Structure 1
Amino acid sequence: MSKIGVHSFVWSAGSSKDELDKALSRSHELQFKLIEFSYLDPKQVDVKWLASRIEELGLDVAISMGLPLEGDISSEDPAVVAKGEDILDRAVALVRDLGGTKLAGILSSAHGKQEHALTKKGWDTSVATLSRVADRAKAAGVTLNLEIVNRFESNMLNTAAQGMAYISDTGAANVFLHLDTFHMNIEEADVGLAIRHAADKIGYVHIGESHRGYLGTGNIDFATIFDALVAIGWDDYVTFESFSTTIVDKDLSLKTAIWRNLWDDNVALARHARQFIELGLETAKRRAELVKQTHLTWS
């Protein structure tokens, strides 16, 4: 079975023990192998309990986040950069304490539509700051996976190629790309080629539809994406992400412009997504085998 994960916002935007346990249980019941949480505040969550429950269910865990404007590490204000660095360090510690290895999301700049263009100084400040965080994350056994998002959610990393340039500048071995099909569908010239080009720098993958709803009901060419993932030998997690007004996290819903109700039944949605991804990857593998097949049948 493929390594398929699910974002916890498919289940709930809450962080009470009951809501977290329900998200974990449903993920396990529907045979997902990883659950992704948007950043949880350790002051409001029993991290030790959560880590033990994740382990008990045999799940892996990833944490994703977007830096706030007041913690933008590409800022020209040293106090803002320092706050962002502290936020990242605390997020790394949370991943470690939950038994995970992946911190993902918009880690290089603030998450949200910007009203100004990125400067060279902003780029350099971000790279230097993230490099320091990466050094400490390495000691914690955590990778930093930079989400490549569309122009309305970041003014820094909008394509995989830009992300690769950023990673090169950090010089860090534990910094990778977090690719998301929703964002790639907007920004990349060719999503399949972008995946193949970035192959050895990809650390995490989000699978999401063009309208954020049921996979296969939008305009994303998933066959090409699955073909590319098989071609590069991707054997790590692909995580399903979907949003609807049925489950609302106020901050993230505003930043990602979730205005429509794209689903009500999250169990049906998640079950369909796991099967869709699993079948898509299996079909791509069979297609790749046929392309390479040389056996001739003689009459």
Structure 2
Amino acid sequence: MNPLGVHSLVWVGELSPEPLRGAVERSREAGFDLIELSLHDPGAMDVADTRAALAAAGLDVACSRGLDFDADISSDDPRTVGRGAVQLAESVRLTRELGGRYFGGALYSALGKYPRPVTARGRANCVAVLRDLAAEAAGVTLGLEVVNRYESNVVNTARQALDLIDDIGADGVVVHLDTYHMNIEEGDLARPVHECAERLGYVHVGESHRGYLGSGTIDFPRFFRALAAIGYQGPITFESFSSAVVAEGLSNNLAIWRNLWDDGADLARHARAFVTEQLTAARMNRR
């Protein structure tokens, strides 16, 4: 079975010790194997306390983040690129200290709407920073999450992620697919999975409106059949956002304006059951 994860923003919008301990415990109670932590406010986190909570719950951890525009590694400005490189290196260090082996997200640019395409210089800066980061990441896999055009101008499709990985030319860099973004940018939900094949390292499942799985327009059976066809055995993490849980800054960057759900526990239990059913049906379909 694939490790099944849940994003911490299903539970809490902050990384301070007590709320984070609660998120870890509720993730365990809902039957997940992994919790994903967004490192949007790393200074609020007590790393030792969080690692102890994860160990007590028997949960693995994955980490993610996006960059701010003043730390955009796809910028033409060397100082801006330098700030982004420092943020990414610190995030890899935090991931390792938490006991995690995966750090992903839109690592290649700021997370937000750009007014113009990325420049050749900006893309070259991005490649150079990620190549150096991969060389120093020892034991932590870097995942390039494919996001929609309103959240980056660098990587919007699986093909673009694969091209960027080829240009980086380093081991330990994988594609991170997300059904929410795929539903906007890709022609279908199966082809990108097959295109990535063994270079697919992490998966987010999110509905077209980021609410309850199965209540939107995404063709999840097709997506899970594609995962089964390539023999994908990596993590599958449920990601959902609502204005009921607010992370300062990040919620605004992601345009979380609507209250899509109130009960994170019910949402999480439903998601775990839904993903398990989809995985089972896809594997049966292969036989």
Query: What range is the shorter-chain TM-score in?
Result: over 0.9
Counterpart residue identity of residue 231, structure 1: A
CA-to-aligned-CA distance 1:194-249 (integer Å, 9 cap, x gap): 11111111111000000000000000000000001111111111000001111111
Aligned to 1:202: 200
Partner Cα separation in structure 2 for residue 239 and residue 82 of structure 1: 31
Is the 2:40–2:250 Cα contact (8 Å) retained in structure 1?
no
Shift of 1:44: 2.5
Shift of 1:277: 0.2
Aligned to 1:277: 275
Aligned to 1:234: 232
Partner Cα separation in structure 1 for residue 43 and residue 65 of structure 2: 17
CA-to-aligned-CA distance 1:162-183 (integer Å, 9 cap, x gap): 0000000001111111110000
Max radius of gyration: which structure? 1
Is the 2:158–2:192 Cα contact (8 Å) retained in structure 1?
yes
Is the 1:160–1:198 Cα contact (8 Å) retained in structure 2?
yes
Aligned to 1:167: 165
TM-score normalised according to structure 1 size: 0.94
Counterpart residue identity of residue 119, structure 2: T
Shift of 1:79: 0.6
Partner Cα separation in structure 1 for residue 156 and residue 69 of structure 2: 18
Deviant stretches of 4+, over 2 Å: 40-44
Aligned to 2:117: 117
Aligned to 1:28: 28
Partner Cα separation in structure 2 for residue 285 and residue 42 of structure 1: 39
CA-to-aligned-CA distance 1:139-165 (integer Å, 9 cap, x gap): 2x1011011000000001000000000
CA-to-aligned-CA distance 1:261-281 (integer Å, 9 cap, x gap): 111111110000000000000
Partner Cα separation in structure 1 for residue 96 and residue 207 of structure 2: 30
Counterpart residue identity of residue 263, structure 1: W
Pair 1:149–1:58, CA change in 2 (3 A):
same
Partner Cα separation in structure 1 for residue 144 and residue 12 of structure 2: 24
Q: How does 1:1-299 map to 2 (within 5 A)?
A: 1-39=1-39, 41-137=41-137, 139=138, 141-289=139-287
TM-score normalised according to structure 2 size: 0.98
Counterpart residue identity of residue 108, structure 1: Y
Counterpart residue identity of residue 7, structure 1: H
Q: Which moved more, 1:225-234 or 1:50-59?
A: 50-59
Q: Which moved more, 1:162-171 or 1:50-59?
A: 50-59
Shift of 1:19: 0.4
Counterpart residue identity of residue 275, structure 1: A
Is the 1:10–1:242 Cα contact (8 Å) retained in structure 2?
yes
Shift of 1:48: 1.1
Specify the SS of the correspondent of 2:144: strand
Counterpart residue identity of residue 83, structure 2: K
Partner Cα separation in structure 2 for residue 86 and residue 16 of structure 1: 22
Partner Cα separation in structure 2 for residue 40 and residue 259 of structure 1: 18
Partner Cα separation in structure 1 for residue 211 and residue 41 of structure 2: 27
Specify the SS of the correspondent of 2:208: coil
Specify the SS of the correspondent of 1:104: strand
Shift of 1:135: 0.3
Shift of 1:40: 5.5
Specify the SS of the correspondent of 1:61: strand
Partner Cα separation in structure 1 for residue 181 and residue 107 of structure 2: 16
Counterpart residue identity of residue 143, structure 1: T
Is the 1:148–1:159 Cα contact (8 Å) retained in structure 2?
yes
* Structure 1: runs of 5+ lacking an equivalent: 290-299
* Structure 2: runs of 5+ lacking an equivalent: none
Is the 1:147–1:177 Cα contact (8 Å) retained in structure 2?
yes
Partner Cα separation in structure 2 for residue 228 and residue 9 of structure 1: 27
State the superposition RMSD in angstroms.
Answer: 1.0
Partner Cα separation in structure 2 for residue 96 and residue 223 of structure 1: 34
Specify the SS of the correspondent of 1:150: coil
